[in-house]
Amino acid sequence: MIEPRDFIRAQVVEDLNSGKHKKAITRFPPEPNGYLHIGHAKSICLNFGIAVEAEGECNLRFDDTNPEKESQEYIDAIKQDVEWLGFHWAGAVRYASDYFDVLHDYAVELIKRGKAYVDSQSADEMRANRGTLSEPGKNSPFRERSIEENLDLFARMRAGEFDEGACILRAKIDMSSGNINLRDPAIYRIRKIAHHQTGDKWCIYPMYDYTHPISDALEFITHSLCTLEFEAHRPFYDWLLDALADVLPQPGSVVDVWKRAGAAAGVDDVLPHPQQIEFSRLNVNYTVTSKRKLKQLVDEQLVHGWDDPRMPTISGMRRRGYTPEALRDFCSRVGITKSDGVVDVGMLEFCVREHLENSAPRAMAVLRPLKVVLTNYPEGQVEEISASRHPNLPEMGDRKIPFTREFFIDRADFEEVPPKGYKRLIPGGEVRLRNAYIIKCDEVIKNAAGEITELRCSCDLATLGKNPEDRKVKGVIHWVSAEKGIPAEVRLYDRLFTDAAPDRGDVDFKTFINPQALEVVQAVLEPSLASAQAGERFQFEREGYFAVDSDSQPGKPVFNRTVGLRDSWKPGA
d(CA 222, CA 207): 22
| Three-state secondary-structure class, residue 50 | helix
- Residues 6 or more apart from 451 whose CB is under 8 A from it? none
Which of 22, 23, 31, 424 is flagged as catalytic?
Answer: 31
**Is 281 noted as a catalytic residue in this protein?**
yes
CA 40 to chain centre: 6
Query: Running DSSP on this structure, what letter comes out for residue 358?
Result: T
Query: Which one is catalytic: 145, 234, 291, 310?
Result: 291
Buried b (16+ CB within 10 A) or exposed e, 58-78: bbbbbbbbbbeebeeebbebb
CB atoms within 10 A of CB 133: 7
Active site residue 73: no
Q: 15 with 222: CB under 8 angstroms? A: yes
Is residue 27 annotated as part of the catalytic site, yes or no?
no
Burial class (CB in 10 A: 0-12, 13-18, 19+), 544: buried
Q: Which of 22, 281, 423, 440 is catalytic?
A: 281
Residue 534, Cα to own-chain centre: how many angstroms? 19
CA gap 492, 336 in Å, rounded: 33
**Helices then strands (H, E): number in the chain?**
13, 25
Q: How far apart are CA 396 and CA 390, in angstroms?
A: 7
> Which residues are tagged catalytic?
31, 281, 291
